[in-house]
Amino acid sequence: MAEGQVVDVIKLFKDAALEVSNRKLDQLDRSTVISQLGMDSVAVMELVSYFEEKLNVRMPDEDLARINTIGDLSTLIQRLLPNAKVQA
């Protein structure tokens, strides 16, 4: 990840949902509760893998357990990529 690169978490999440579960999610924002999007646990793990691959990071399991919303995911990504401009 290049320094100063912009990471649009909502766009990545939408792209990931479409790729891993063939779901088009339009109404997402920082407060969207991920567990209420109707994805099973396998789809969620595939989403995590998608983010890890696209961002070249490893998301620790203990951090993943604390993610409830897209905003929480954005905060984690910002912590893992301190030189990126993370937006959600």
3-state secondary structure of 84: coil
**Distance (Å, rounded) from C-alpha 72 to C-alpha 62?**
13
**Distance (Å, rounded) from C-alpha 51 to C-alpha 57?**
8
Tens digits of per-residue pLDDT, 29-83?
Answer: 999 999 999 888 888 899 999 999 999 999 999 999 999 999 999 999 999 999 8
Read off the amino acid at residue 24.
Answer: K
Rounded to two decimals, what is the model's pTM? 0.88
User: Which domains can be identified in the chain, with CATH numbers?
Assistant: 6-87 (1.10.1200.10)
DSSP 8-state symbol, 37: G
Average pLDDT over residues 15-19: 93
- Any bridge partners for residue 87, and if so which? 8
